[in-house]
Structure 1
């Protein structure tokens, strides 16, 4: 019964959040609340279904087979990406973003980030950084992440934890962020 109430609550929440002008119709199928043309609880808005991570039988994230030198470069770039964000260094941060990212608009991201840095103190704390996908010109880095967001003017803060996969591509021989996928806990 508790599961049914939770499922109904989730379906109502998803229906209420829809930006569709058409009324929501529950047809009592497994696809209810999971329209193919919108973000949903199953796909989390991820269009590239090949992005993700796999857990082994021991519950640990399975690491991709990556040449050691490339793994070091990739993880160093990931660390720089997190450090630039935490230090609110917009120029340094944007230098790590692909020139034509797949998952977001570069100019919009820069404008939003500038406003966020002016308004909030946000700190990313990552653990379990693992390369979960690798090809010569594309890689995925998984991490567990805690996001602490504080509003200095009001003293209010909020914390969210989750898992993320940052997708990198090679541009001019350097790893650059092209998309990010986050799943909150």
Structure 2
């Protein structure tokens, strides 16, 4: 019965991420078009693992970094993402919140703080990022694709549930520092 509870929790988490991403639709149409291209590329890769062909015998395009991505910015963005996941896994609420944008239209910092604190208090959750790639870069905005393994267990329980998802984090540069502005996530089969 507890496994069903965890399935519900994971679905809730994914839906929450989708809702947060949907709330951020006030961005320009160019950003929306970029996100749609990113989503389509991800769906193509998911449907066509390890080089198999698409429905029309077209190979899925690989997910790769943009050519205009400066090494210094790549390092800065990935450093924030690394701190984000490490802080989450250590249950360092302030470290985790410190990676988030205070200007996001997808979430409110205090609501996020309360939600994550409740999760830390009741569950053991480990985020294991895999296949992290910066897929879009502009001077003040970047999108990072991550294949994420999530391992969840209730405090005091030895039963664990593992799920694999794909997500895109949008970063914005604020006062010279990269912050996570929004997250779009989808569960893989």
Q: Mark yes or no: TM-score above 0.5.
A: yes
Q: Does the CA-based 8 Å contact 2:102-2:108 persist in structure 1?
A: no
In the alignment, the residues of structure 2 paired with residue 76 and residue 175 of structure 1 have an alpha-carbon distance, to the nearest angstrom, of 9
Which fold has the larger relative contact order, with Cα–Cα distance below 8 Å and residues 6 or more apart in sequence?
2
Alignment correspondent of 1:149: 152
Which has the greater radius of gyration? 1
Query: 1:62: how far off?
Result: 2.5
1:2-151 → structure 2 map (5 Å cutoff): 45=19, 46-47=21-22, 48=25, 49=32, 50-51=34-35, 52=38, 54=41, 57=59, 60-65=62-67, 66-151=69-154
Query: 1:100: how far off?
Result: 1.8
Q: Deviations over 1:140-159 (max 9, x none)?
A: 11010011111023433322
Flag structure 1 segments of 5+ consecutive residues without an equivalent.
1-38
**Aligned CA-pair RMSD:** 2.0
Could you state the TM-score of these two structures normalised by the residue count of structure 1?
0.70
Q: Which has the higher helix share?
A: 2
Flag structure 2 segments of 5+ consecutive residues without an equivalent.
1-14, 26-31, 46-58
Change (3 A) 1:59 1:127: farther
Q: Secondary structure at the match of 1:101?
A: coil
> How many residues are paired up?
143
In the alignment, the residues of structure 1 paired with residue 66 and residue 127 of structure 2 have an alpha-carbon distance, to the nearest angstrom, of 24
Q: Deviations over 1:125-182 (max 9, x none)?
A: 0111100111111111101001111102343332211101011111111100110010
Q: Of 162, 165, 169, which aligns to 2:168?
A: 165
